[in-house]
Amino acid sequence: MKIKFQLNGQPVEAEAPIDETLLDFLRNRLRITSVKKGCDLGECGTCTVLLNGKPVRSCLLLAVQIDGEDVTTIEGLSKDDNLNPIQEAFVKEYGFQCGFCTPGMILTTKALLDKNPDPSIEDIKIAFEGNLCRCTGYDQIIESVLRAAKLIKR
């Protein structure tokens, strides 16, 4: 099925097989490999994308479902060679180690801060319920989100 959608602010037209998840479509056809395949069951959060600004699991959507919608992956965050303040904060606070969960973590941060520019630690924990990190123990990720909030406000 032919689909048209916005990907990181750019219009995209592509052929999407109806039995393909958005995750496989992004990775295998559009070569957006920042969207990771972790559990493929909606539990780990590494395949997070923003659908109309909200974090969702691309492994639990069919590619054909995004026809006419707006999708953001981490490629949509940095402008030219400049990091987005959220990316900057994750670098400064060591908010990642192996990096596998990081695109999902940063997109989840973006959705949270767009809605709530001044989140409490509890707000952050709720937003990150479905994003697993096996390296950091989460403290640095929470610090990164708090720092990102400060950077964006400045």
Partner 1 sequence: MEEEIRPLPKFDYFSPHSLHDLSTLLKQLKGGISFLAGGTDLLVNMKKRITIPKVIIDINRIQELSFIEKRSNNIHVGSVTRLNNLIESSIVQENVPLLTEAIRFLASHPIRNRATIGGNLCTASPAADAAPPLLALNASVKLKSPDDEKIVPLSEFFVGPRQTVRKHNEILTEIIIPCEKGSNAFMKLGRRRGFTLSVVSVAAFGIIKGDKFEDIRIALGGVAPTPIRAYKIEEMLKGVEVSDRSIEKAAEIAKSISKPSKRAKRASVEYREAMARVLTKRVLMKIAFEERG
73 vs 82, which CB is nearer to partner 1? Answer: 73
| CA–CA separation, 70 and 7 (whole Å) | 6
- Which of 7, 26, 38, 48 binds partner 1 (CB under 8 A)? It is 48
24 vs 93, which CB is nearer to partner 1? Answer: 24
* H/E run at residue 153: helix 139-153
Q: Does 3 bind partner 1 (CB under 8 A)?
A: no
In degrees rounded to 5, what are phi and psi of residue 119? -75, 145
| CA–CA separation, 123 and 134 (whole Å) | 21
Q: Does 122 bind partner 1 (CB under 8 A)?
A: no
Q: Are 32 and 74 in contact (CB under 8 A)?
A: no
DSSP state of 79: B
2 vs 154, which CB is nearer to partner 1? Answer: 2
Q: Which residues bind partner 1 (CB under 8 A)?
A: 1, 18-21, 24, 39-43, 45, 48, 51, 54-57, 59-62, 64-65, 108, 125-131
